[in-house]
A = this chain, B = another copy of it.
Amino acid sequence: VNRELMQQAQARLDAKTKPPGALGRLEEFARRMVAISGTGSPDTSKKVIYTFAGDHGVTDEGVALYPKAVTTQMVYNFLAGGAGVNVLARHVGAEVRVVDVGVDNDFGDLAGVIHRKVARGTRNFAKGPAMTREEMLAAITVGIDLAEQCRVEGIALVGTGEMGIGNTTPSSAIIAAISGKAVRDVTHRGTGIDDDALELKIRVIEQGLAINQPDSTNPLDVLAKVGGLEIAAIAGLVLGCAANGIPVVIDGFISTAGALIASELHPNVADYIFAAHRSMEIGHSFMLERIGVEPILDLNLRLGEGTGAALAMSLIEAGVKTLNEMATREQAGVTHE
């Protein structure tokens, strides 16, 4: 990112009709948006949230509260505009784009879906690798392609989201593999499983790590062996946004697992990431720290889909607007300090 533009943006913020720094993190959002986009006055009107859908073979182990069919059902709900992410994206003026990267359902050429299916879900990582290396790379490429497309379209701000029954399980597996932390310390209740199911989920992840032996120093190996297709696509989207100078707002726990893979691959990727919120899932804060980003919201959200990203995008936009629209003390005839 452009550090000189960042300093110029802060100097312009300091000339506004407010005490220096008084808009707190809104000022951070504004100067980072300038530095990432490379333009002094970013136009934030074009905002897109990509909601990647994929299924997970590991649900065969009974780790999820809802049946796999719900992933497909929710894709139809996204198209109908009735899901949480639809409501919140409309509220903030963002567009939701639904990407089938790995749903265990044949959507044919259903309109409204971006059809980039790599496989009908991952394999059960408790028994072997979730994906082949080729599948993993194909899913990452989906995200990279979409980021490329965003640059062409002039999208100012990208959000990540996901839908995939069972996908907190691979997310916890990814953190455990990369950090070496105990599975128990990074595994939580997902959509709301009880104590027994939580113990089962921990055992399944431990088994998956023992069987697959992912190389903790190789994020792509971890991703292929215990990750998910939608998580890989998010990793690719984050990488692609960084490569194309597009700010990307990562949603909650699962999106952050994807962003962690991207960030582990290149240290500069974090410069392009905004963390939407602090999830209820334990292990989330650890991932955010490792990436080096501070969450914007803390509203006990745990829905995913891109819901938190939508809300955070509006706050980032608010910061940019203070830079673009507030009067300077000079313009307003306000006495300097």
Contacts and interface: CB of A to CB of B under 8 A. Distances in A.
B87 A334 contact: no
Contacts of A73: 332-335
B82 A300 contact: no
Interface residues of A, number: 58
Contacts of A20: 192
Interface in A123-181: none
Contacts of A69: 335
A65 B307 contact: no
Most B C-beta atoms less than 10 A away, residue of A23, A73, A317: A23
Given A76-B332, A335-B70, A24 B301 contact: yes
> In the assembly, how many copies of this chain are there?
2
A3 interface: no
Interface in A190-210: 191-192
A80 interface: yes
Interface in A75-90: 76-77, 80, 82-84, 86-88, 90
A196 to B, nearest CB: 15
Most B C-beta atoms less than 10 A away, residue of A17, A66, A331: A17
A91 interface: yes
A112 interface: no
A226 interface: no
A41 interface: no
Contacts of A337: 65-66
Contacts of A26: 299, 301
Contact of A87 (B66, B192, B326, B332): B326
Interface string A1-40: 0000000000000001111111111100000000000000
A297 interface: yes
A114 interface: no
A188 to B, nearest CB: 13
Given A191-B22, A337-B65, A82 B331 contact: yes
Nearest to A279: B24
A334 B77 contact: yes
A293 interface: no
A74 B311 CA distance: 30
Interface string A290-314: 0000001111111100010001001
Given A23-B303, A90-B325, 9 more contacts: A18-B84, A19-B65, A24-B299, A24-B300, A24-B302, A69-B335, A76-B333, A311-B315, A311-B318
